[in-house]
Amino acid sequence: MGKSVVSIVRYEKPLESVRRAVDLCHGLDHLPNQAKVFIKPNIVFWTRTTPFPKWGVVTTSRVVEDMVILLKERGIKGITIVEGIVTFDPKDTETPAHAFESLGYQNLKKRYGIKTMNVFERPFKKVDLGAGVVLNFNEDTLQGDFLVNLPVLKTHAQTVVSLGIKNLKGLIDVNSRKKCHSPNPEKGLNYMVARLANKLPPSFTLLDGIYTAERGPFFEGKLRRSDILIASSDIFSADKVGAKILGYDPMEIPYLIHAAQDFKRPIDLSDVEVVGEKIEAVASRHEYAFPYTEDGNLPKPLEKLGVKGLTYRQYDDTICTYCSGFTTVILMAIASAWRGEPWNEVEILTGKRMKPSPGKKKTVLIGKCMVQANKDHANIHEMIAVKGCPPDLKEAMQALHQAGIDVNPAFFDNMDMAAGFFMKRFEGKPEFEESFFQIL
Ligand code: SF4
């Protein structure tokens, strides 16, 4: 096999920068005539209740529109933007529709005749990805001729980086997403993610790094203006270069190690030719892990407040998005409930793999998986179970009250409102432009 070409381009202006990234790596040279093309952006979060930071979290509409124009220039008529946005109610079709409208995709419909598709309104098909991984994919994308994959260049608290291959998780159904967060340490999240691209049509990947995120995939970490585009028709090579640019050797990324073994390809860049900017010229370390105390038992911000009598371990890769989405709200509520009086040896456990510690007076188990895994555990003195899948936020609030943590119900009335608090960080920072997420 010859070397795969990956282009690196600094984002400078609409259309021309994306065009350069595509041309340098010949990314659309093998696009079949009359192809049915699907464009997969990354809309990892959306809410209708409040403006929230999209920089480094959601693919810019700038890049989406530029790709549509380049496809139209090649005579492509059948273009569909496809995404499966996580919502707490799987029947909620209004939130995805609101996202597509707000991001300007309706204007793309009018101007270029493209379509939009919420995967949860369409059929899924069981796909055997090999090595025992069977997941249900959006059937339309599987039947397409070509996939334009437009992830955001970001690090990720569970998979270290979230790039081209990980972005494909948005094409699978809810049960498959939960399945990906398996408690089996040998065949966990990274093992599953590594195989997501195995059975999809030919693709082109462009990592949108106009904005990048440190400690992603959401907005709680540090969002940056980085002005980088990385492109390739080889998704694995794009991800290896993307990882390097975020400051990681591909050897440090577990899903890339699995993918290298699966594809029988080198994990280093020996099979990649980089064109355009040099990696070293644009690389910048993006941390992925949220800071915790040395023993891993409390987030640093809670330690700083002086919180005592609480153990809240860092979530692991077995917690799925539905449960992990609670973490920010719960932590914000706990921080604001702290009055300087130690809590009564409370432990809060999440995901599928954690085990209760001995000597705790109250053990809060969040989510059906945690309850099933530990309900009979000998270390539990008093169990406070939040059973749902995904768990109910109000029940989580009641559980905290029962544990003696007097959280303010306002945090739980509308969880999405917490997303709006993060907008304050960007006041007076003109480099964070909302216009990148609009199509006028
Ligand atoms: S309980 Fe939480 S971690 Fe378990 S499958 Fe449901 S959402 Fe995922």
Report pLDDT digits (tens) over 30-72: 999 899 999 999 999 999 999 999 999 999 999 999 999 999 9
Per-residue pLDDT reduced to its tens digit, 343-370:
999 999 999 999 999 999 999 999 999 9
Pair (336, 279) in one structural domain: no
Q: How many domains is the chain partitioned into structurally? A: 2
Q: Which residues approach ligand 1 with their CB closer than 6 A?
A: 178, 319-320, 322-323, 351-352, 367-369, 389-390
- How much distance in Å is there from the Cα of 323 to the middle of ligand 1? 6
Measured by CA distance, the residue closest to atom 8 of ligand 1 is 320
Distances (CA, A) of 37 to 32, 76, 152, 331, 421: 10, 8, 20, 41, 37
- Are residues 67 and 131 located together in one domain of the fold? yes
- The Cα–Cα gap between 216 and 287 comes to 9
Same domain, 229 and 328: no
Mean pLDDT, rounded, for 95-115: 97
Please report the pLDDT score of residue 33 as a whole number: 87
Q: What value does the mean pLDDT take over residues 269-280?
A: 98
Domain boundary among the residues 267, 288, 309 is at 288
What would the mean pLDDT of 410-428 be, rounded to a whole number?
Answer: 89
Question: Is 311 contained in some domain?
Answer: yes
Residue 149 lies in a domain: yes
Query: Ligand 1: distance of its center to the CA of 378 in Å?
Result: 23
For residues 398-417, average pLDDT: 92
Q: Which of 264, 288, 312 is the C-terminal boundary of a domain?
A: 288
Residues 257 and 213 in one domain: yes
Domain end call among 241, 256, 288:
288
pLDDT at residue number 324: 85
Question: What is the average pLDDT across 172-191?
Answer: 95
Which tokens in the block code for residue 133? 């991984």
**Residues 35 and 115 placed together within one structural domain of the fold:** yes
Cα within 13 Å of Cα(14), Cβ side: 13
Same domain, yes or no, for 180 and 234?
yes
Contacts (Cβ under 8 Å, ≥6 apart) of 159: 166, 189, 190, 193, 253, 254, 255, 317
Model pLDDT for residues 214-271, shown as the tens digit of each residue:
999 999 999 999 999 999 999 999 999 999 999 999 999 999 999 999 999 999 999 9
Domain that holds residue 342: 300-408
Residue 414 lies in a domain: no
Work out which ligand 1 atom sits closest to the CA atom of 367: 1
Whether residue 234 sits in one domain with residue 145: yes
CATH number of the CATH domain containing 282? 3.40.50.11440
pLDDT range class, residue 396, cuts 50, 70, 90? very high
70 shares a domain with 38 = yes
Query: Taking residues 330-340, what's their average pLDDT?
Result: 96
Residue 128 in any domain: the answer is yes
**Position in ligand 1 atom list of the atom nearest CA 368:** 1
In the reported structure, the alpha carbon of residue 85 is separated from the centroid of ligand 1 by a whole-number distance in angstroms of: 17
Query: Mean of the per-residue pLDDT values for the chain?
Result: 96
Residue 418 lies in a domain: no
